[in-house]
A and B are shown apart, each in its own frame.
Chain A
């Protein structure tokens, strides 16, 4: 890892100004960024740690919306997001306990790894990504693998999740990395069902609209019987072919619907 200057501001405003410098980068829990820097795939001249910003931490539920600070660790979400059990459960299965004690929701959503768990929850919940300058709807936020609507130096300060009537996340584990080989988040709201799939597509997390339509008619796994996902845009690698991932999308969606009840 190349050397860099390290700063740890205590407010969002100070962090934003530190990030204004060329080649400065935000540091969340470092669980993705530090390994990337060790491989010299990133070499910022300055790291701006967000871990000292108290305003960016914590979980609160109010009026049917769960708000999670952008600097909140997966471990804290697992322990404190009881108002949205499917989300707490998702957080409790990210990586391992030591990763969950450092990694943050803001870091996960900013990174938008095509196999990460949180992007599917945010998209399936129609969450709002709150930054230091604006609010971005999840439908506009995810723009393909490792690509988001965030501008240079923009910080995710919070994420707002409307709490669904029923929801479930099913993760088919890639046993070596502990990420999702395929993960499906199903959330049922008064105004409709949303289904978001991670791990599967070369275009990153996506909504499976045919499944949403079928589940809007009938919220039962059988409603998905005749649906198939086309393998063409799926990820194919040594862990699973395109066809295998396409098949898993159907299986995991049915399991999620069953578990959501």
Chain B
């Protein structure tokens, strides 16, 4: 067992982990932050995406020990303390960007990372960025629309699906 310490959603967090403990396991099972979903555990689906030092990563494919000392942000950090959704979350709700909601934490974390680098992405850029985020429900259309709307772009021309 080794001790890891990191900042998670702005607060200090630490715990004893095995070498093999994944960051997703540490977040969900040690810290009880179950908003980060594990869909595939094989780095394919993106449900587990969190930010490590500002970069989107698949938390099922990074060791907790690798994130020692890092600044980690999960979906739980995205809404304000009073529950007010952030722009991306609100747009997902407004534009029906989710159905079962399983992929949504990863989708939102990827979208937030995209908009940080590219505040006004085109539809094609959004689709390319979401290459590693799989959704089995929505057909992606409304997710793309929600992200365009969250970036302040006019989405009235994009047909509803």
Q: Which residues of A contact B (CB under 8 A)?
A: 1-6, 8, 27, 30-31, 34-35, 37-38, 47, 49, 51, 75, 95-99, 101-102, 178
Across the interface, name the chain B residue whose C-beta is closest to A2: B20
Q: List 30 A-B contacts (CB under 8 A).
A: A3-B19, A5-B19, A6-B65, A8-B65, A30-B61, A30-B63, A30-B66, A31-B61, A34-B62, A35-B42, A35-B43, A47-B19, A49-B65, A49-B66, A51-B66, A75-B55, A96-B129, A96-B130, A96-B132, A96-B133, A97-B56, A97-B114, A98-B57, A98-B58, A99-B58, A101-B56, A102-B57, A102-B58, A102-B62, A178-B131
- Tell me whether A38 and B56 are in contact (CB under 8 A): no
When distances are taken between beta carbons in the complex, the residues of chain A under 8 Å from B130 are: 96
Across the interface, name the chain B residue whose C-beta is closest to A176: B44
Question: 10 smallest A-B Cβ distances: which pairs?
Answer: A96-B132, A6-B19, A96-B131, A101-B55, A6-B65, A4-B19, A98-B58, A1-B20, A3-B20, A98-B56
Q: Is B49 located at the chain interface by the 8 A CB criterion? A: yes
B39 to chain A minimum Cβ distance, whole angstroms, is 13
Interface size on B, residues (CB 8 A): 29
A117 to chain B minimum Cβ distance, whole angstroms, is 14
Bound together, the chains give a CA A101 to CA B70 distance in angstroms of 14
B72 to chain A minimum Cβ distance, whole angstroms, is 13
Q: Which residues of B contact A (CB under 8 A)?
A: 2, 18-20, 22, 41-43, 46, 49, 52, 55-58, 61-63, 65-66, 68, 110, 113-114, 129-133
Bound together, the chains give a CA A96 to CA B58 distance in angstroms of 10
- Tell me whether B57 and A101 are in contact (CB under 8 A): yes
Bound together, the chains give a CA A101 to CA B110 distance in angstroms of 12
Do A38 and B57 contact each other (CB < 8 Å), given the known contacts A30-B63, A97-B132? Answer: no
Q: Which of B42, B55, B62, B129 contacts A30 (CB 8 A)?
A: B62
Bound together, the chains give a CA A97 to CA B57 distance in angstroms of 8
B152 to chain A minimum Cβ distance, whole angstroms, is 21
When distances are taken between beta carbons in the complex, the residues of chain A under 8 Å from B42 are: 35, 38
When distances are taken between beta carbons in the complex, the residues of chain B under 8 Å from A75 are: 55
B46 to chain A minimum Cβ distance, whole angstroms, is 7
Do A97 and B113 contact each other (CB < 8 Å), given the known contacts A6-B2, A38-B42, A75-B55? Answer: yes
Bound together, the chains give a CA A111 to CA B1 distance in angstroms of 29
When distances are taken between beta carbons in the complex, the residues of chain B under 8 Å from A99 are: 43, 58, 132
When distances are taken between beta carbons in the complex, the residues of chain A under 8 Å from B19 are: 3-6, 47
When distances are taken between beta carbons in the complex, the residues of chain A under 8 Å from B65 are: 6, 8, 49
